[in-house]
């Protein structure tokens, strides 16, 4: 299955650069189970149209969900989720950063053309600090490797499940 892993965030804003740091960690590892890596930085909107040829898309970003810093979140996005969240101005997936346009809104705009990957999973973690700094907070340092592990684990599990042909899907988290 053709898969892309996209890191979103601003490295100049401490924990806001989480998604990019996870992609960097995956690049250092060298093994992504065949997935292509994208560092979208703060320009996810300009990258999303390049992702339509993928069957699976994993997006990693800092997410404000109300939990303690370092809390990991996972959301499986589908047409209903995109419709509901974009009509709320971003809803629970709203922008927390200096992104010109949020990830959900960029996906919604792309969906208008009718072209999105069949499976979109958003991984992220609650930031501790979103301020001018090149350093990620101590609470999020271990989360970088944990998120890299979770994304690769899900890709491997999905590949294994799909090869068996039973069509199993992961339950939605939220």
Is the whole-model pTM more than 0.75? yes
How many CA atoms, within 13 angstroms, populate the side-chain half-sphere of residue 140?
Answer: 23
Q: What's the chain's average pLDDT?
A: 82
Contacts of 4 (CB under 8 A, 6+ apart): 35, 36, 37, 38, 51, 54, 56, 57, 58, 117
Distance CA 41, CA 35 (A): 18
Q: What integer is the mean pLDDT of 11-27? A: 96
Give residue 121's pLDDT: 94
DSSP symbol at 42? T
- Its sign, for the CA torsion 163, 166, 170, 172, is positive
Question: Which is the CATH superfamily of the domain at 3-164?
Answer: HybD-like (3.40.50.1450)
In the chain, % helix, strand, coil (3-state, to 5) comes to 40, 20, 40
Report whether pLDDT(44) > 90: no
Residue 21 has pLDDT above 90, yes or no: yes
Q: How far apart are CA 15 and CA 63, in angstroms?
A: 10
Span 14-38, mean pLDDT? 94
The CA distance from 152 to 154, in Å, is 5
């Amino acid at each position: 299955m053709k898969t892309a892993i996209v890191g979103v965030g601003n490295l100049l804003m401490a924990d806001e650069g989480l998604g990019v740091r996870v992609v960097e960690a995956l690049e250092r590892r060298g093994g992504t189970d065949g997935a292509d890596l994208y560092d979208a930085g703060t320009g996810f909107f300009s990258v999303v149209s390049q992702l339509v040829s993928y069957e699976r898309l994993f997006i990693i970003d800092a997410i404000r969900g109300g939990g303690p810093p370092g809390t990991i979140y996972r959301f499986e996005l589908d047409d209903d989720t995109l419709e509901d969240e974009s009509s709320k101005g971003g809803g629970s997936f709203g922008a927390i950063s200096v992104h010109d346009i949020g990830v959900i809104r960029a996906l919604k705009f792309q969906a208008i053309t009718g072209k999105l990957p069949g499976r979109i999973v958003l991984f992220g973690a609650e930031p501790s600090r979103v301020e001018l700094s090149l350093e990620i907070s101590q609470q999020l340092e271990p989360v970088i490797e944990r998120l890299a592990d979770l994304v690769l684990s899900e890709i491997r599990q999905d590949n294994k499940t799909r090869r068996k042909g039973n069509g199993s899907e992961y339950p939605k988290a939220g």
